[in-house]
Amino acid sequence: MSETPETKKQLNPWITPAAIVIAGLLIGGGFLLNSDTQSDSTTPEYLDVSVTETDHVLGNPETATITIIEWSDIECPFCKRFHAVSHALYEAYEGDVALVFRQLPLDSLHQNARTEAEATECVNELAGNDAFWTYLDTLYERTKSNDGLDLALLPEIAQEIAGTDPEAFTACLESGRHAETVAKQEALAEPFGIRGTPYSIFLLQDGTYYTVPGAYPGDILAITIEATLGGAPVEKNQTFIDMYTQVGQGIITPEELTVYFEAEIQPYLPKTETTTESTE
């Protein structure tokens, strides 16, 4: 009988050890930051950020360690990818992460996006928050992005997914009464200089935050969540995000990012421990 060493990971099982993630994403072509237009990733000071009455929420921002506030365009292909990532993070860090969705249709790029945004608000009005999220998820799943969804299907999908009456839904959408609802959510993006989607704020309970201006890989964002849960200040996570961006832009090397990660982020991550496993 012999004993072989086994490394037991203490990180959330949704992610792999961070050093492997960084190497794999950068070398293996998994680098994905794109958004539909340019966005500012920094702000000169922390602005007042809070959940509003027009927001759509999953989880409990009052108790979650991090609330991910996501501005998104339903016809944006990068938003489609990031929407799946944000849900995966929410599910993986149940209780520690809450989600907030805000509308930001980009009219110059996607002619259907504003109508779809107002359609989701009609479902919210007629069937509630849970139905809103189910309807939103379904639209992201079924559209091919870049105006790939036939708007005539919106009432049909609402009835199928949320059980809304087609006539009531159509009347709501044609009334335009949720144009203001969407506009209020768009206006909340203005202080941050947001000009593209997806754009997210990872908000902590003390009002500090770090920004994620694009469709960043879930593994990279999971590292920042793990570090936050371990006590890392938002400035370190922001620098990690910014440096990851700079690698993609060719400004710095992957090795420089790895050096920063090992010195400034890794100490906040759960430690791994080596155990032994008996085999015959």
In the chain, where are the structural domains located?
A: 7-268
Higher pLDDT residue, 221 or 7? 221
pLDDT 10s digits, 146-175: 999 999 999 999 999 999 999 999 999 999
What CATH class is the domain 7-268?
alpha beta
Asked if pLDDT for residue 10 goes beyond 60, the answer is: no
Query: What is the share, in percent, of the chain residues with pLDDT greater than 70?
Result: 81
pLDDT, average across residues 10-32: 50
| Pairwise CA distance, residues 69 & 58, whole Å | 11
Neighbouring CB atoms inside 10 A of 194's CB total: 24
Amino acid 115: pLDDT: 98
* Pairing status of strand 97-103 against strand 199-204: unpaired
Neighbouring CB atoms inside 10 A of 163's CB total: 11
Determine whether 27 is exposed, middle or buried from the number of CB atoms within 10 Å of its CB (0-12, 13-18, 19+): exposed
Question: pLDDT band at 233, cuts 50/70/90?
Answer: very high
- Cα 29 to Cα 81, 112, 170: the distances in Å are 16, 31, 44
- Nearest Cα to 235, choosing from 200, 206, 199, 211? 211
pLDDT 10s digits, 36-93: 544 444 444 788 898 988 899 999 999 999 999 999 999 999 999 999 999 999 999 9
Q: Does residue 177 sit in helix, strand or coil? A: coil
Place of tokens 């929410």: 90
pTM of the model: 0.85
* Pairing status of strand 66-72 against strand 97-103: parallel
Amino acid 46: pLDDT: 85
